[in-house]
Amino acid sequence: MNAVLTSPARLKMADTSLTEDEIQAAVAVLRSGALRQGKQCDAFEAEFAALAGARHAVSSANGSAALHLAYMTFLQPGDEVLVPAFTFIATGSMVAAAGGRPVFCDVHPETFLLDLNDAEKKLTARTRALSPVHLFGNPCDLDAAQAFAARHRLRLVWDAAQAHGARWRGRELGGCGDFVAYSFYPTKNLFVGEGGMTCTPSEEAARRLRGLRSHGETGKYLHAMLGLNYRMTDVEAAIGRRQLLRLEAMLAARRRHAEILRRGLEPLPGLHLQQVLPGGEPGWHQFCFWVDEREFGCSRDQLAQALAAAGIDTGVHYPRGLHQQPIFRELYGDQSLPVTEKLAANILAVPVHHGLPAGGAERIVAAIAAAGKKK
Ligand SMILES: Cc1ncc(COP(=O)(O)O)c(C=O)c1O
């Protein structure tokens, strides 16, 4: 009994609990009976646009839809889009869903972000867009990506699904490029259940996004475009609006935890932490590093087991590159991307979220250091 009472709480990978205020905001919408996309969505879009530094923000059913809608506005069949291979499936699959072809590029070994040198080698006459990912909330170099896109006359579509609240040289990320797509999936920095947002500086693009998310309807039962039903509901929007009020506090907690993890783990031989570019202010969606088994003394999987035994959950984001996914191998054939493959085999994420209890980050550092010492 005593052991149960004194054993420290399990540290999970995410805290997806809503506050009482957020629950009440959802309940008020449920009571009103106005469940579909309506005033709450309009207000959430305006408030999110202000936060993200965007001119227009268009809500949708999820982050994948937010990307898909962006591509649907301009992609032609067979157009190629340069994407990093080390990311979540939707970064590539939404290009394919819109009729394009994702072209997988390797990532940088220290930042884990799209390597523009590799992207340059993969340009063809069919390349229409560049789509970098602010992976784990770690901002890419906006200026370099913008210059690359301008030099090669490409659209710039950002996958910012994991990067709410991150900044580049003091700028919000939502105002850069042609489209910036966010997700509000429960593990994300801002979470409403399912939801997404596409930001754009173009009024015309915003109009098309709004049409495409609602069956291309331009009047009652009048359809000028082939669209989808990708609408968010007012229930999620009401939660999102309330949660925006605590986003800064949640981000501050993530940054505090990340700093403790960074200071504790950086000196350990054999752990290679995701590096932040000078000018980047991450949102710390995930805290990731890769494990050099020989130097550290045990493998990524052995470390994960040791942490599980110490009551600490971990995650592997991602166990394979997009080019290693069966569906993409089938569609586009075999390809070798060495940095992505090395990361996929050795990467580990530890909890960094806003809900970690006091002392939680220190406990993670101590457990990792102990696992490394055992050899
Ligand atoms: C990098 C990235 N892109 C796109 C998405 C898709 O977002 P959603 O799950 O809301 O569809 C996610 C969500 O996990 C993601 O992490």
Average pLDDT over residues 185-199: 97
Residue ending a domain, choose from 242, 265, 291: 242
- Judge whether 14 lies within some domain: no
Q: Is the CB of 64 under 6 A from ligand 1?
A: yes
Q: Is the CB of 196 under 6 A from ligand 1?
A: yes
Q: Is the CB of 185 under 6 A from ligand 1?
A: yes
pLDDT at 8: 83
Q: Is the CB of 90 under 6 A from ligand 1?
A: yes
Structure tokens at 5: 């009472």
pLDDT at 5: 59
Residue 190, pLDDT above cutoff 50: yes
CB 200 within 8 A of CB 56: yes
Distance (angstroms) between ligand 1 centre and the Cα of 186 equals 11
First-to-last alpha carbon distance for the chain, in angstroms, is 33
Q: Is the CB of 286 under 6 A from ligand 1?
A: no
Q: Is the CB of 189 under 6 A from ligand 1?
A: no
Q: Is the CB of 133 under 6 A from ligand 1?
A: yes
Residue 3, pLDDT above cutoff 60: no
Q: pLDDT confidence of 189, banded at 50, 70, 90? A: very high
- Judge whether 15 lies within some domain: no
- Cα-Cα-Cα-Cα torsion 247, 163, 158, 274, nearest 10 degrees, comes to 170
Identify whether residues 113 and 198 lie together within a single domain: yes
Question: Nearest Cα to 156, choosing from 164, 144, 165?
Answer: 144
Distance (angstroms) between ligand 1 centre and the Cα of 183 equals 6
Identify whether residues 195 and 329 lie together within a single domain: no
pLDDT at 1: 45
pLDDT at 6: 65
Identify whether residues 333 and 311 lie together within a single domain: yes
Residue 250, pLDDT above cutoff 90: yes
Distance CA 179, CA 226 (A): 20
State the CATH number of the domain containing residue 361.
3.90.1150.10
Residue 121, pLDDT above cutoff 80: yes
> By residue range, what is the domain housing residue 118?
20-242
Atom of ligand 1 nearest to the CA of 187: 14
Q: Is the CB of 87 under 6 A from ligand 1?
A: yes
* Torsion sign (Cα): 132, 352, 57, 26: positive
Identify whether residues 159 and 209 lie together within a single domain: yes
Distance (angstroms) between ligand 1 centre and the Cα of 185 equals 7
Atom of ligand 1 nearest to the CA of 195: 10
State the CATH number of the domain containing residue 44.
3.40.640.10
Identify whether residues 192 and 144 lie together within a single domain: yes
Residue ending a domain, choose from 202, 225, 242: 242
Residue 234 Ramachandran class (φ > 0 left, ψ -120 to 50 alpha, else beta)? alpha
pLDDT at 373: 75
Identify whether residues 48 and 148 lie together within a single domain: yes
- Judge whether 24 lies within some domain: yes
Residue ending a domain, choose from 208, 242, 276: 242
Residue 354, pLDDT above cutoff 90: yes
Q: How many domains does the chain have?
A: 2
Q: Is the CB of 88 under 6 A from ligand 1?
A: yes
Distance (angstroms) between ligand 1 centre and the Cα of 134 equals 11
Nearest CA to ligand 1 atom 12: 161
Q: Is the CB of 233 under 6 A from ligand 1?
A: no
Q: Which residues contact 11 (CB under 8 A, 6 or more apart)?
A: 311, 312, 313, 351, 356, 357, 360, 363, 364
Identify whether residues 221 and 275 lie together within a single domain: no
Strands 127-130 and 80-84, bridge-based pairing: parallel
Distance (angstroms) between ligand 1 centre and the Cα of 215 equals 22
By CB atoms closer than 10 A (0-12, 13-18, 19+), residue 237 is buried
Identify whether residues 232 and 322 lie together within a single domain: no
Helix%, strand%, coil% for the chain, nearest 5? 45, 15, 40
Identify whether residues 74 and 162 lie together within a single domain: yes
Q: What is the mean pLDDT of the chain?
A: 96
Identify whether residues 90 and 148 lie together within a single domain: yes
Nearest CA to ligand 1 atom 8: 63
Distance (angstroms) between ligand 1 centre and the Cα of 355 equals 21
Structure tokens at 52: 């993200």
Q: Is the CB of 58 under 6 A from ligand 1?
A: no
Distance CA 117, CA 271 (A): 25
Q: Is the CB of 177 under 6 A from ligand 1?
A: no
- Judge whether 28 lies within some domain: yes
Q: Which residues contact 80 (CB under 8 A, 6 or more apart)?
A: 100, 101, 102, 103, 124, 126, 127, 128
Residue 83, pLDDT above cutoff 60: yes
Q: Is the CB of 161 under 6 A from ligand 1?
A: yes
CB 264 within 8 A of CB 369: yes
- Judge whether 199 lies within some domain: yes
Distance (angstroms) between ligand 1 centre and the Cα of 65 equals 9
Distance CA 169, CA 369 (A): 33
Average pLDDT over residues 285-289: 98
Residue 2, pLDDT above cutoff 70: no
- Judge whether 8 lies within some domain: no
Q: Which residues contact 130 (CB under 8 A, 6 or more apart)?
A: 81, 82, 119, 145, 148, 149, 152, 154, 155, 156, 157
Distance (angstroms) between ligand 1 centre and the Cα of 195 equals 10
Identify whether residues 310 and 355 lie together within a single domain: yes
- Judge whether 273 lies within some domain: yes
- Judge whether 330 lies within some domain: yes
Q: Is the CB of 93 under 6 A from ligand 1?
A: no
Nearest CA to ligand 1 atom 7: 63
pLDDT at 114: 98
* Partners of 348 in beta bridges: 289
Identify whether residues 237 and 188 lie together within a single domain: yes
